Homo-oligomer: A and B are copies of this chain.
Amino acid sequence: MFESLNPLIRPRSIAVIGASDDATRIGGRPIAYMRQQGFAGGLYPVNPKRDTVQGLRAFPDVASLPEVPDVGLVAVPGEAAVDAIEALGARGTRAAIVFTAGFAEVDEAGAAAQERMVEAARRHGVRLLGPNCLGLFNAAVGFYPIFSSSFESGWPIQGRIGIASQSGAYGTHVFAVARNRGMGTSICVTTGNEGEVTLGDVIGWMAEAPEVDVICTYAEGIRESDRFLKALELARRNRKPIVMMKVGRSELGGEAAKSHTASIAGDDAVTDAVLREFGVVRARTTEELLDIAYAAQKRIYPANNTLGVITVSGGAGVLISDAADALGFPMPAMPEEAQKALRDIIPFCAPRNPVDCTAQAFNLPSAMGDFARSMARDGGYTSCLGFFTQVGGSKTVAPKMRAQMKQVMAEHPDRLWVLSVIASPEMVREYEEDGFLVFEDPTRAVAALHAMGRFGEAFSGMPAASPALPRVTLPATTPTEAEAKRILAEAGVPAVPERACATPDAAAQAARGIGYPVVLKILSPDILHKSEIGGVLLNIGDEAALREGFATLLARAAERAPGARIEGVLVAKQITGAVEMAMGIVRDPVFGPVAMVGLGGIFIEVLKDVAFRRCPFDAAEAERMIRSLRGFPLLDGARGRPGADVAALAAALSALSAFAAAAGERLAAVDVNPVLVLPEGHGAFAADAVVEVT
């Protein structure tokens, strides 16, 4: 479905509008690069003032080109760029790359001009990259519509990593770092202002393109969800790992910020949840981005990844174990029998895992192979890491070790084999040609190997099943608490037993029915956060206290929320022995309704221990979210308490997500806080709820 980008990235011909004879200018560089790198397609400079450009025949305008170019490169300023899109579209060109700046990134007028340009592109069916973009390259075919100066220090290495970046400078930075590490990045696309073609389009194209195995991407913010989500799903289905650098942590803006739930969120957390949903691995540094891409080139993605470590330094073994532990990367012990066998080879070895074969291994030519073989065969590790430090770079010892390890790797080609060695670049290249991944730093090796397992999990898992959506009819305006709870209960989110009471007598009768102690809460469509005006009274033990409380609440409302419409009080069962959780819905401007769950009360704000997920999702996914909380042990029966009804909470959370997905755009936010989770088998109940409707 992303094949409409073919003329953009894999064209047979290109016209350069604003072509310059000066190979250092932005309209000149692409022509010089493509000639130097032997682009075999049609290359048509357009420049009304010149007959030739850099030795090529130049054309005065798009109309006079000898054929319809697959793509037009636009390097003319201001309004002329908009005209160029019109001209290309009229000629039948299907793609354009716009270097020109001064559009939406500058001011309102620029934004309007960009709008006109994009409108023209859409009208003509032109896929438009930019404006204000650095361009792209497809090194495999010598296609360089890009004005970066990066190539001064070298051309890309051919290879199967694709780079998709919103930032031009950062995208080419990644390419240059990759090149210096000997990594092949044949295709790099930078999206600039994303007037039309977005990061999602580029990722989607790469997910389908046979040229690309691994996708490295850089994002400052996701601007549209539809193609982005399709692209992620396509990449997962095609087993193409995506590793993403996503920067920036801005607050959720606009309406959503009004709800408490939103104030602890932030679109970065939402994007993070979306990336996790599709198995995209997020890198924190450029090094990590490329470490993961480097390892991913092997195309070995074990769904149940385990780490086996063979080391010549016990100290490094502990360091590696710490790193694996911090990532939750399992390092199961070798089987007892195998441990015994290893001890027979080297008596003072530590054969558990990490397997410390000690420096002795280098005196026994065959030991290294025996150890590695046992780890692959008996230990069954999917990721095998050898820490050999300088010994792996020693001209005397390393060749023997290399031969041994190579033999074992050939016997187990389905494993990830990584060496942590300090060796000359030439020796590293030799190891790599053998098929080993090589990392000098063992901690970085562990992180990269762990990511392969995360890809494996994503590739082997099915997309989560969507629950059936209920029919939802939202009220015209934000409902009262009682009404909000009724709406949610209908959707499958049960509430604590309670009654709305307009008078003290009605309240007293309700409390007798529910049973003391009860909770009293002010009931008003105009007071969303009752506790802020002292509108909640706990522990009402008898009728006298209830009548006094009723009066207190009305007095407080009159004083602290003058003008609010007061409908009486809610009388609710006071529940004890429950774990207080919170859940809610925020509307992300890009990804729509997003559900969250966390510890209740003020812990959710202070400790920010919250899980997010796009709506809707099933109860199994809801339970995974709940279990991912750091505070999960509170539900799991810490310190001899009974376990809480996690299944009921998960069912309610899933029902809430289905409600939000069905409710449509008028649902601004939901805040269910607290949700009281009773012991296993006894349910989970909303004790307070806000449903914000716009």
Residue numbers of A with Cβ under 8 A of B are: 106, 149-150, 152-153, 165-170, 172-173, 176-177, 180, 218, 220, 245, 247-249, 284-287, 312-316, 318-319, 322-323, 325, 348, 359, 389-391, 393-397, 422, 424, 440-444, 532, 602-603, 605-607, 609, 630-631, 633-634, 638-640
Question: How far is B152's CA from A391's CA once the two chains are assembled, in angstroms?
Answer: 9
Q: Do A149 and B397 form a contact, CB below 8 Å, given A319-B247, A606-B631?
A: yes
A313 B153 Cβ-Cβ under 8 A: no
Question: How far is B606's CA from A181's CA once the two chains are assembled, in angstroms?
Answer: 43
A286 B443 Cβ-Cβ under 8 A: yes
Residues of B within 8 Å of A286, CB to CB, are 319, 441-443
> Could you say which of B170, B220, B325, B440 contacts A177, with CB atoms under 8 Å apart?
B440
Q: Do A322 and B630 form a contact, CB below 8 Å, given A169-B315, A169-B316, A390-B150?
A: no
B173 A390 Cβ-Cβ under 8 A: yes
Closest Cβ of chain B to A301, distance in Å, is 24
Tell me the dominant secondary structure on chain A's binding face: helix
A287 B444 Cβ-Cβ under 8 A: yes
Q: Do A173 and B220 form a contact, CB below 8 Å, given A167-B314, A631-B606?
A: no
Residues of B within 8 Å of A424, CB to CB, are 153
The 5 closest A-B CB pairs, nearest first, are A167-B315, A169-B313, A170-B315, A285-B443, A247-B318
Residues of B within 8 Å of A249, CB to CB, are 322, 325
A605 B315 Cβ-Cβ under 8 A: no
A390 B152 Cβ-Cβ under 8 A: yes
Nearest neighbor of A180 in chain B, beta-carbon distance: B422
B152 A313 Cβ-Cβ under 8 A: no
> Could you say which of B169, B172, B319 contacts A245, with CB atoms under 8 Å apart?
B319
B443 A284 Cβ-Cβ under 8 A: yes
A169 B395 Cβ-Cβ under 8 A: no
Closest Cβ of chain B to A292, distance in Å, is 14
Residues of B within 8 Å of A152, CB to CB, are 390, 394-396
Closest Cβ of chain B to A452, distance in Å, is 19
> Could you say which of B169, B170, B607 contacts A607, with CB atoms under 8 Å apart?
B607
A631 B607 Cβ-Cβ under 8 A: yes
Nearest neighbor of A636 in chain B, beta-carbon distance: B606
A443 B287 Cβ-Cβ under 8 A: yes
Residues of B within 8 Å of A359, CB to CB, are 169
> Could you say which of B312, B348, B602 contacts A106, with CB atoms under 8 Å apart?
B348
Question: How far is B181's CA from A422's CA once the two chains are assembled, in angstroms?
Answer: 11
Question: How far is B396's CA from A150's CA once the two chains are assembled, in angstroms?
Answer: 12
Nearest neighbor of A635 in chain B, beta-carbon distance: B606
Q: Do A247 and B322 form a contact, CB below 8 Å, given A169-B389, A396-B152?
A: yes
Closest Cβ of chain B to A396, distance in Å, is 7
Residues of B within 8 Å of A323, CB to CB, are 284-285
Residues of B within 8 Å of A313, CB to CB, are 167-170, 173
Given contacts A165-B315, A172-B389, A287-B444, 15 further A-B contacts (CB under 8 A): A150-B390, A166-B315, A167-B315, A168-B313, A169-B312, A169-B314, A169-B389, A176-B390, A176-B422, A177-B441, A284-B443, A286-B443, A287-B441, A532-B640, A603-B603
Residue from A323, A391, A640 whose CB has the most chain B CB atoms within 10 Å? A391
Closest Cβ of chain B to A350, distance in Å, is 11
Nearest neighbor of A396 in chain B, beta-carbon distance: B152
Question: How far is B532's CA from A169's CA once the two chains are assembled, in angstroms?
Answer: 61
Question: How far is B443's CA from A336's CA once the two chains are assembled, in angstroms?
Answer: 43
